[in-house]
Structure 1
Amino acid sequence: MGAHASVPEIKREKLSCFICTWNLGNEAPEPLDWIPKGHFDMYVIGVQESCYTPKGHEGEKHDDVKAEYHWQQRLDDCFGEEYECLAYQTLSPRTDKTYKTETSFKDAVVKGEAKSSGIRLAVYVSKRLRTKEFQIEHEVLFQTCGRLNGASGNKGGVAINLNINGARISFVNCHLNAHMQELPRRNEDYDQISRYLHRTDDLFGERKRKLEESGDLTFVVEVENRHDAVFWFGDLNYRLQPLDDLDLRKEMHDIVCKEIDRQNWEGLMDFDQLKKQQKLGLVLAGFEEEEIRFPPTFKFARDPSSRAAKSGQERDVYVSKRVPSYCDRILYRANEGATITCTDYTYNGDVTSSDHRPVMASFELNVPMVSSLKRHTLAKPRALRLELSNLILRTEASHNPANDTDTPVTITIYHRHANTRINTNACAKPKRVWDGPFVLESSTKLDTVLLYPVLFLIRDRSKKEADQHCLGEGMLSLLDLTSRPFKTEVYQGGKPYGLLAGQVEFSFV
């Protein structure tokens, strides 16, 4: 690092986080007094199908603005003055033949001519995180899934990304395609959200394309591949499918209900579509989920007369035409340098206004941060020099289900504040090796440089430059300026591509 160089202090910080996902079923929600308040640094609440008529306005024409205001008021009342709403977002439309701009869509919403998707996401933070010790930046992203219902459709995702003193945390709330037989479309929805989340001030994705064309890749890389901690949750709609024949719905319903009565949660996971798709590497690669030890959260009968208290049954009644399933899920992924511990994963069976039950999880995060109290320790500006060498990209079948080892690839190495970006030569060996060294330098203030990771984009060089596409993405955090070996998993569209390893050396020049 240099005998006379000093750097901003990097320290590990523990953060606590509570996440709840709830499909409201387009019904006015009950008060949120069941959420445990005052125990966490961050509360993240994601809902789906929240286009409802607030109580007291029954019989009136649906007004999405009223629903929006009502839900925000519910959240504010829940968390009170001890917490501040850092970011809030509702999924906006992408585009269709009627509404060419976001402004025209919002005008239509106000006039009652269109509905938003009902996918909403809010992040509340404690006063501790709003002190001068912490500097928080955030961005909001969205993506609809193409099968538009009216103006915007009710499938898609919205994300809120935080940068807390260099610790990058992403929250993604999504609603994927429904029904047992629509498994391929669910996977497509996830792929589309993962690849194409874009900023809400960029209705048609133009800003994202212009950023890539200008060479700024910071916000082009998928959120899972440029954040230290990623939480992906919502109504994922993956079903319990104990039989291959989809016509045997009644038989499957009976099989699942029998296991529910036995509280055989582990056995139910053998039927879970999501677990099977993850094992195949088709969705949410690298994501973890705490063990499920509660009943399926969908689909419950809404009729109060069918409630367990009135029917004499030990559990609530599931709708007979649907196989009870774990549609509502919370998953997480920690990239290099971060650790995530799930301390609780449960549901609330007493909240009955919807045909879904809310699912909740508590987490402890351990992430490196730049200490804002010691942010100006360099006596005079000096350029940070980063040298990468002995890069090895492994794409064996264990990392890459497609076993794509023959395609010639190049690596783009990028940092937002580096003086240049690097494109390696193409290599097509099964064990692709680049000796280097590859050098990035930045004369930008070090405190700013450390807030962003080094990004790796693996590109297909078998085609003409205009047709080249990204095969995988990875990252290297700069919140550890120790010269060391490193490795990063490489993903694209939530699917594994390979493992990139190498050596990194830091110095000042």
Structure 2
Amino acid sequence: MWPTLVANKIFKKRLGSSDFIADFPSCKEPLLGIVDFDHNSKSIHNDHKGTQKCKVFVSTWNVGGIAPEEDLNIDDLLETCNDSCDIYILGFQEIVPLKASNVLGSENNDISMKWNSIIREALNKKSHKGGKDQSDGENLQNNCLNEKENSAKFCEAPHDVQCIISKQMVGIFISVWTRRDLFPFIRHPSVSCVGCGIMGCLGNKGSVSVRFQLHETSFCFVCSHLASGGREGDEKYRNSNVTEIFSRTSFPRGPLFDLPRTILDHDHVILLGDLNYRISLPEETTRFLVEKGDWDSLLENDQLKMELMSGNTLRGWHEGAIKFAPTYKYCPNSDIYYGCFYQGKKAEKRRAPAWCDRIVWHGEGLKQVQYTRTESKLSDHRPVKSMFTAEVRVLPKLMKNLQSLFLSERFDQIKTPFEVSTTDDFVRTKRSSFRL
């Protein structure tokens, strides 16, 4: 039976690899890509300088194959500043146990749907926190648009938050959420999955990458689970995984063939996940320095930090200062690192503490304003979260978007202006907006 499953996984056509789950706006609202020009909006696109900043939340969490309870509270994970973000990226690893039936069998989305339900409830509760009415929210939003470019503060408005992309590959899961009022300006959502696990191709290790365009700026988020192992030289397998992910990830070029195709082609790129990089010190030394809280000495020997400095695999990538304790590996439901009490024959089961869970970024116009961890004891990893401000390019007049879409010299390559693709533009018109 297993050889058949393996063959199917390796050789079958990847029919479902580009599909993803998303919430869709109601029929009363413009769909992704086209907006109603009769709508009197003072939203982000009207900034006369051509750029505006948005606030992006990113988190990563290896949940160790433990299914969440329906009432799981993730408020601590989402609690960043006193206000809400424009975009939320939540990445997970091992949302299902990495046993053979899950790696080789068909995808089971029950757990990812449960996570999405928990995220939806938490984000919309956060969105409406404070009980502001809609008019107050609109005033606050307009005040935000007048903010100086060098300000890192953002205003909170009670906007609904909805899912634009949600994708699972075995245990790797990424869920992307935005404020409802940003929907009209988000285009070209798509996904790309790369398996780097068993036989170099199965999805127990690898990445799920998502991309979309907000106004004229492209975003790409890569949720990864890299090769494990704390022995000397194991970091080479992780570097190899990264190289494979960068080379094999590919996105559609779009109906006008002008969209970024690879990860590094995008304007803003964030890599998140259980990257599994360890500390290149003897275990006893590592534990001693962890006990002292000497993060600087540990980070001097952190494999990912060394890779970022050498620039071999991650040339041009950045990571913020780490001011928190290693996130791996904890005893279940405790604050004690795994292996602290093992003696003699059980020593081989010990795992030295490490910052396995990381968030790094690439591209100009991204500024990290927070990088920390939270203290959920659900698994043997602690979640890590970050906050960014991202510059977004906008056109002076949205009519240019319509001209480039419908009046292009390559217009004849689009079968119909109402064509809908699951991996490219979502297009819909309203009679009050324009006519063809």
Q: Same fold, TM exceeding 0.5?
A: yes
Which residue pairs with 1:227 in the alignment?
Answer: 266
Do 2:214 and 2:392's aligned partners in 1 also have CA atoms closer than 8 Å?
A: no
Do 2:337 and 2:353's aligned partners in 1 also have CA atoms closer than 8 Å?
A: no
2:368 aligned with 1:342:
yes
2:337 aligned with 1:317:
yes
CA deviation digits over 1:348-384, x for unaligned, max 9? Answer: 12x111010000001111232224xx22369xx8x9x
Distance change >3 Å, CA 257–CA 232, structure 1 → 2: same
Do 2:371 and 2:386's aligned partners in 1 also have CA atoms closer than 8 Å?
A: yes
CA deviation digits over 1:81-137, x for unaligned, max 9? Answer: 72010111112xxxxxxxxxxxxxxxxxxxxxxxxx21000111013313x4x2433
* 1:79 Cα offset (Å): 1.4
2:227 aligned with 1:162:
no
How does 1:313-462 map onto structure 2 within 5 Å? Answer: 316-320=336-340, 321-335=350-364, 339-349=365-375, 351-371=376-396, 374-376=397-399
Q: In structure 1, what residue type is equivalent to 2:78?
A: P
2:63 aligned with 1:24:
yes
Q: In structure 2, what residue type is equivalent to 1:27?
A: I
CA deviation digits over 1:125-168, x for unaligned, max 9? Answer: 013313x4x2433111111115259x943100011111011111
Which residue pairs with 2:121 in the alignment?
Answer: 77
* 1:50 Cα offset (Å): 0.4
Runs of 4+ in 1 over 4 A off after TM superposition: 215-220, 442-445
Which residue pairs with 1:144 in the alignment?
Answer: 195
Between the aligned partners of 1:190 and 1:52, the Cα distance in structure 2 is 23
Q: In structure 2, what residue type is equivalent to 1:330?
A: I
Distance change >3 Å, CA 63–CA 229, structure 1 → 2: closer
2:294 aligned with 1:254:
no
1:90 match: secondary structure: strand
CA deviation digits over 1:400-448, x for unaligned, max 9? Answer: xxxxxxxxxxxxxxxx99xxxxxxxxxxxxxxxxxxxxxxxx8569xxx
Between the aligned partners of 1:327 and 1:264, the Cα distance in structure 2 is 17
Do 1:288 and 1:333's aligned partners in 2 also have CA atoms closer than 8 Å?
A: yes
Do 1:176 and 1:237's aligned partners in 2 also have CA atoms closer than 8 Å?
A: yes
Do 1:41 and 1:128's aligned partners in 2 also have CA atoms closer than 8 Å?
A: no
Between the aligned partners of 2:171 and 2:315, the Cα distance in structure 1 is 27
Do 1:28 and 1:52's aligned partners in 2 also have CA atoms closer than 8 Å?
A: no
Between the aligned partners of 1:218 and 1:376, the Cα distance in structure 2 is 19
1:89 match: secondary structure: strand
1:64 match: secondary structure: coil
CA deviation digits over 1:238-283, x for unaligned, max 9? Answer: 00112xxxxxxxxx22212222222221111111011222222222
* 1:66 Cα offset (Å): 2.5
Between the aligned partners of 1:68 and 1:369, the Cα distance in structure 2 is 34
How does 1:47-66 map onto structure 2 within 5 Å? Answer: 47-51=92-96, 64-66=108-110
Do 1:23 and 1:356's aligned partners in 2 also have CA atoms closer than 8 Å?
A: yes
TM-score by length of 1: 0.55
Between the aligned partners of 2:273 and 2:237, the Cα distance in structure 1 is 16
1:323 match: secondary structure: coil
TM-score by length of 2: 0.63
2:182 match: secondary structure: helix
Do 1:143 and 1:198's aligned partners in 2 also have CA atoms closer than 8 Å?
A: no
Do 1:137 and 1:164's aligned partners in 2 also have CA atoms closer than 8 Å?
A: no
How does 1:136-215 map onto structure 2 within 5 Å? Answer: 136-148=187-199, 152-181=202-231, 182-198=234-250
Q: In structure 1, what residue type is equivalent to 2:338?
A: Y
Distance change >3 Å, CA 301–CA 237, structure 1 → 2: same
Do 1:9 and 1:375's aligned partners in 2 also have CA atoms closer than 8 Å?
A: no
* 1:176 Cα offset (Å): 0.4
Which residue pairs with 1:88 in the alignment?
Answer: 166
More helix by share: 2
Between the aligned partners of 1:52 and 1:157, the Cα distance in structure 2 is 17
Which residue pairs with 1:266 in the alignment?
Answer: 296
1:286 match: secondary structure: coil
Distance change >3 Å, CA 240–CA 368, structure 1 → 2: same
Cα-Cα RMSD:
3.3
Which residue pairs with 1:126 in the alignment?
Answer: 179
2:399 match: secondary structure: coil
- Partner residue of 1:294 out of 321, 324, 339: 324
Query: Size of the alignment, in residue pairs?
Result: 306
1:330 match: secondary structure: strand
1:180 match: secondary structure: coil
CA deviation digits over 1:192-246, x for unaligned, max 9? Answer: 01110135xxxxxxxx7xx8xxx968554x211x11111011000000112xxxx
More strand by share: 1
CA deviation digits over 1:162-191, x for unaligned, max 9? Answer: 101111111110000000232111111110
CA deviation digits over 1:312-366, x for unaligned, max 9? Answer: xxxx33334111101100001124xxx11111110012x1110100000011112
Unaligned stretches of 5+ residues in structure 2: 1-46, 99-105, 126-159, 341-349, 412-436
Distance change >3 Å, CA 340–CA 65, structure 1 → 2: closer
Q: In structure 1, what residue type is equivalent to 2:179?
A: S
Distance change >3 Å, CA 63–CA 191, structure 1 → 2: closer
